[in-house]
Structure 1
Amino acid sequence: MDRRTFITKAGFAGAGAAAAATTLAAPAIAQTNPKITWRIASSFPKSLETIYGGSDDLSRMVSEATEGNFTLQPFAAGEIVPGLQAADAATAGTVEVAHTVGYYYVGKDPAWALGAAVPFALSSRAMNAWHYHGGGIDLYNEFLGKQGLIGFPGGNTGTQMGGWFRKEINTVADINGLKMRIAGLAGQVMTKLGLVPQQLAGGDIYPALERGTIDAAEWVGPYDDQKLGFQKVAPYYYYPGWWEGGPTVHFMFNKAAYEGLPEHYKSLLRTACQATDANMLQKYDHLNPTAIRNLVANGAQLRPFSAEILNACYDAANELYAEIEGQNEGFKKIWDSIKAFRKDHYLYTQVADYTYDSFMVQLQRANKL
């Protein structure tokens, strides 16, 4: 065989091998990104596009990364199950994912709230640091695993507002007897000061305030609150929402479904959840400044909670925690971790961030920015 004939035949053989490799590669790639369709039950209506939008963000990122092979279909509160039953639906396998907030389920166990927010705990920045680097995700998943779930942070609103009041409250005595739409552990804390907590859906708050059926209501913060027009019927807008210093929204996955995923799909979900977590807080930081100006221009009267009220609520919260810790080891384990992290976080925060922010606020008030 001459050299030219050998090279020609070898070339055909190489081309054939390459074609065969290509034929084999396509199904191999397809198998690494299997076709999976999941459903997300959100606890939020589509009108709250900042919070509800987290489900859309996660769905989009996962679909783009897998060329449409792994799809997550979001459903708003009430479309599959009521908003406050989203985690139950994920546990039961009715859906594979819930986009929800842990403190919605404190009636089952107060430990549910610790992965989200409890009174006088952590700011949004501290909450993220605790979750991602202080062992929070693992501790919370130790609890969620008993519910048939595994969860990852999927959003944060930043520190919320203290709510809308029909009259000014300056002292602890002014709280006594008030009927306020407020839920979870915050409601239990306020009960110790004589407040009467009320459970109302978002759409029922305005008419209840207007009729005087309730005296006050907390919702979220400026951007979301302005949509409901509370300033028309309860003009005193108090801050801060000490019960939600950094409320974390979670994606809670049916544990069996999650564990059945390929490893790279699991990794993708964790990464996309963290991106969604960051993006939601950034949205609120962008939108709330304009919203607070609009609210004040339309009649909202900003008021800080007095030091007397804050201190009384803090003492009442610690009293409540002591009661729960004595009866609930799971709660105590997570709360001990948060308390230790909180102490160190605020030790450092006062050194740099607080000093810098305080100076910049002074400049803003002096109209120098």
Structure 2
Amino acid sequence: MDRRSFIKKAGVAGAGAAAAATTLAAPAIAQENPKITWRLTSSFPKSLDTIWGGAVDIAEHVSAATNGAFTIQTFAAGEIVPGLQALDAVAAGTVEAAHTTSYYFWGKEPTFAFGTALPFGLNARMSNAWFYQGNGNKLMNEFYATQGVYGLPAGNTGVQMGGWFRKEINTLDDLKGLKMRIAGLAGKILEKVGVVPQQLAGGDIYPALEKGTIDAAEFVGPYDDAKLGFNKVAKYYYYPGFWEGGPVVHGFFNLAKYNALPKNYQAILQDACAFANTNMMAKYDVKNPTALKELVGSGTQLRPFSQEIMEACYKAAVEIYADLSAKSPSFKKVYDDQLAFKKDAYLWAQVGEYTFDTFMMIQQRAGKL
């Protein structure tokens, strides 16, 4: 066979092979990327663009990565179910997904609290470390599986503020009988020092505070709190929100629906949630400083919780964790793991982060930045 004849025949064969490969690839790709539409319900209103934005981030990234084959429709709190029923809707299969905080559901089982934040627990950086590189995701999804859901970190607000009060809070006596909107396990801890906790969704807080149905409320931090207008109905703004040092917002997915996804869709969903997690924290770190300056400039009175209050609440928290650990094997398993992680994490943080941050804050206060 001469060279020209060989090349010609090889070219024809190659073209045939390419055509065959194309014929085979098309249905294979279609099979690997089926058309799927999910609904996601959020626990947050669209007006809170940063925390609501986590759901949007997930949906947009999933759609872009699958060229529109995997679509997640997002719905704000109340459009399908109330905000505090988001996880229940996922477990029941009413919707496939939710963007919410795990600790809203701690009343079902206290282990839910670890998914968001334990009072006097982890800061945002430690939360990410525990979930991604510690045992956080593993332990929490062992627990979430018993509830019919699968969870992935999909947002973090950073340390929150201690909330808005209609009067000054100087001593423990000032807390006695005070009706306060506070979410999660923190309400049980404050109850131990005399507060009457109220769990309300974000959109219900302002009218309750305005009407005097509650005396105080915490939500997130300066940016979101200003959007909700709390400064118009309460004068005193306390810090820190020791119950939420680094609270995680989760993407929750119906367990059966998640397990039925193609593996590449699962990976895409995981990456989308990881982006939402990082992006939310970055947004709050940009927006909160400006919002805090504007609040103080408009008359908000910034106050720290006294050492007396902090110490009493810490003592109450430790006692409650011991009690819950005795009653719930699930709580004890996760608590023991996170406590061991926290001890080492704060050992390093005080050597590295704390000393550096403290020095830089001194420069900021001295006007040298």
TM-score, length of structure 2 as denominator length: 0.96
Match of 2:178 in 1: 178
Say which SS state the counterpart of residue 108 (structure 2) adopts: coil
Which residue identity is paired with 1:224?
A: D
Matches within 5 A, 1:204-219: 204-219=204-219
Matches within 5 A, 1:35-46: 35-46=35-46
Residue deviations 1:149-191, cap 9 Å, x none? 1111000000110000111111111111211111321111111
Which residue identity is paired with 2:268?
A: L
| Residues 32 and 211 of structure 1: CA distance in aligned 2, closer, same or farther (over 3 Å) | closer
Instruction: Count the aligned residue pairs.
Output: 369
Match of 2:98 in 1: 98
Matches within 5 A, 1:215-226: 215-226=215-226
Which residue identity is paired with 2:49?
A: E
Tell me by how many angstroms 1:321 deviates.
1.1
The separation in 2 between residues aligned to 1:261 and 1:124, in whole angstroms, is: 30
Say which SS state the counterpart of residue 184 (structure 1) adopts: coil
The separation in 2 between residues aligned to 1:361 and 1:96, in whole angstroms, is: 45
Which residue identity is paired with 1:72?
A: I
The separation in 1 between residues aligned to 2:198 and 2:2, in whole angstroms, is: 94
The separation in 1 between residues aligned to 2:311 and 2:288, in whole angstroms, is: 27
Match of 1:271 in 2: 271
| Residues 3 and 143 of structure 1: CA distance in aligned 2, closer, same or farther (over 3 Å) | closer
| Residues 355 and 182 of structure 1: CA distance in aligned 2, closer, same or farther (over 3 Å) | same
Stretch of structure 1 that moved more, 257-266 or 207-216: 207-216
CA contact (8 A) 1:232 1:299 kept: no
Say which SS state the counterpart of residue 197 (structure 1) adopts: strand
The separation in 1 between residues aligned to 2:186 and 2:36, in whole angstroms, is: 40
Match of 1:286 in 2: 286
The separation in 2 between residues aligned to 1:3 and 1:209, in whole angstroms, is: 89
Say which SS state the counterpart of residue 169 (structure 1) adopts: coil
Which residue identity is paired with 2:138?
A: D
Which residue identity is paired with 2:332?
A: K
Say which SS state the counterpart of residue 185 (structure 2) adopts: helix
In structure 1, the gaps of 5 or more residues are none
Tell me by how many angstroms 1:85 deviates.
1.0
| Residues 201 and 149 of structure 1: CA distance in aligned 2, closer, same or farther (over 3 Å) | closer
The separation in 1 between residues aligned to 2:271 and 2:204, in whole angstroms, is: 37
Tell me by how many angstroms 1:8 deviates.
3.4
| Residues 206 and 59 of structure 1: CA distance in aligned 2, closer, same or farther (over 3 Å) | closer
In structure 2, the gaps of 5 or more residues are none
* 1:89 and 2:89 are equivalent in the alignment: yes
| Residues 200 and 89 of structure 1: CA distance in aligned 2, closer, same or farther (over 3 Å) | closer
Residue deviations 1:265-322, cap 9 Å, x none? 1122112211111111111111101110111111111101111110000001111111
Tell me by how many angstroms 1:199 deviates.
3.0
| Residues 196 and 5 of structure 1: CA distance in aligned 2, closer, same or farther (over 3 Å) | closer
CA contact (8 A) 2:45 2:203 kept: no
The separation in 1 between residues aligned to 2:213 and 2:32, in whole angstroms, is: 57
Stretch of structure 1 that moved more, 61-70 or 12-21: 12-21
The separation in 1 between residues aligned to 2:257 and 2:19, in whole angstroms, is: 37
Matches within 5 A, 1:1-369: 4-5=4-5, 7-369=7-369
Which residue identity is paired with 1:149?
A: V
Tell me by how many angstroms 1:122 deviates.
0.6
Which residue identity is paired with 2:86?
A: A
CA contact (8 A) 1:40 1:96 kept: yes
CA contact (8 A) 1:163 1:237 kept: yes
Say which SS state the counterpart of residue 142 (structure 2) adopts: helix
Stretch of structure 1 that moved more, 203-212 or 351-360: 203-212
The separation in 1 between residues aligned to 2:293 and 2:3, in whole angstroms, is: 83
Which residue identity is paired with 2:267?
A: S
The separation in 1 between residues aligned to 2:174 and 2:11, in whole angstroms, is: 91
CA contact (8 A) 1:43 1:82 kept: yes
TM-score, length of structure 1 as denominator length: 0.96
| Residues 3 and 215 of structure 1: CA distance in aligned 2, closer, same or farther (over 3 Å) | closer
| Residues 3 and 237 of structure 1: CA distance in aligned 2, closer, same or farther (over 3 Å) | closer
